[in-house]
């Protein structure tokens, strides 16, 4: 447990720094959001958008709240949770600037049942969240804990298969990582943020965990939720690899005439009534 705490202390520090970089980055398009543009993608809007109007929604690992606040614009009543106190502060400032009513909670999600009370119609999480979790079994239990009977869980996430590839190779897919879960994380130092350079003189310590798609599915089933669907897509809303090409619809694709790989998956599950 002590080792895990040290990992998450480092992760929290890194994301505190990332929050200030990312909110100003071109990737996140905060100015466009402030002018009324949604930060949600057509994938999650098409699959979840019809469920949210008038419903309570808990957004796990919400970063500085763009998607959380965008769900309010779709009619949801939202609470966002993030490990970064700086990100939560920025999310509250964005809510105030846009006059959008939302609640934001600073917490590691593993500590959330001790830090926050509530039951929700929907638990939502998306894009780049699973790698920061060392225990998916507990993650599934926490999702079930916060769902009302009949409530739904929805995730849109980078496909677990692409974890195996070298994230920095600029030419093509090169296998570099283990697909299956290892209790020990991949640990590294990074300069600046994935969304912008930031201060190149400052190095951040990161720790990420691999999880297979079966890890994700079984954690949800073992928590007592019933899978409604699992979808896979050969597109990504972010340039997850340097060589992906952006299409007119705004998604990034692997530009190959014969080969397409799963870049994103979505899953919806329901808690028993």
pLDDT in tens, 211-249: 999 999 999 999 999 999 999 999 999 998 999 999 999
Q: How do 203-208 and 252-253 pair as beta strands? A: unpaired
Distances (CA, A) of 238 to 67, 161, 173, 174, 244: 14, 16, 16, 19, 9
Shortest CA distance to 109 belongs to which of 17, 192, 187, 15? 15
Domain extent for 246: 2-271
Positions in the chain short of pLDDT 70: 1-3, 196-201
Structural domains counted in the chain: 1
Measured distance CA(69)–CA(8) in Å, rounded: 26
pTM of structure? 0.95
Q: What is the b/e burial string over 57-68, where b = at least 16 CB atoms within 10 angstroms of the residue's CB?
A: bbbbbbbbbbbb
Dihedral (Cα; 176, 182, 185, 186), 10-degree rounding: -10
Mean pLDDT over each residue of the chain, to the nearest integer: 94
Query: What CATH number does residue 147 fall under?
Result: 3.40.50.150
CB-based contacts of 110, cutoff 8 Å, min separation 6: 135, 138, 139, 142
Q: What is the pLDDT of residue 2?
A: 43
For position 1, what pLDDT does the model report? 46
């Amino acid at each position: 447990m002590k080792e895990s705490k040290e990992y998450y202390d480092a992760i929290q520090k890194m994301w505190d720094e990332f929050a200030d970089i990312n909110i100003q980055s071109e990737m996140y398009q905060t100015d466009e959001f402030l002018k009324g543009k949604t930060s949600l993608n057509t994938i999650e809007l098409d699959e979840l958008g019809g469920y949210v109007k008038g419903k309570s929604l808990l957004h796990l690992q919400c970063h500085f709240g763009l998607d959380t606040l965008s769900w309010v614009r779709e009619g949801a009543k939202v609470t966002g949770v993030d490990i970064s106190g700086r990100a939560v502060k920025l999310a509250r400032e964005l809510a105030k600037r846009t006059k959008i009513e939302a609640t934001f909670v600073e917490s590691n999600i593993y500590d959330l049942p001790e830090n926050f009370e509530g039951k929700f119609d929907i638990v939502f999480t998306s894009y780049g969240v699973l790698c920061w979790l060392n225990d998916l079994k507990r993650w599934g239990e926490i999702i079930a804990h916060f769902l009302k009977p009949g409530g739904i869980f929805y995730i849109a996430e980078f496909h677990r298969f692409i974890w195996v590839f070298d994230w920095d190779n600029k030419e093509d897919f090169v296998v570099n990582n283990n697909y299956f879960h290892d209790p020990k994380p991949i640990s590294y130092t990074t300069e600046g943020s994935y969304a912008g350079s930031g201060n190149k003189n400052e190095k951040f310590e990161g720790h990420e965990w691999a999880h297979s798609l079966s890890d994700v599915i079984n954690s949800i089933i073992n928590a007592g939720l019933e899978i409604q669907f699992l979808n896979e897509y050969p597109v990504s809303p972010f340039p997850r690899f340097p060589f992906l090409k952006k299409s007119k619809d705004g998604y990034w694709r692997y530009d190959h005439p014969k080969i397409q790989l799963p870049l994103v998956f979505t899953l919806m599950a329901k808690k028993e009534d």
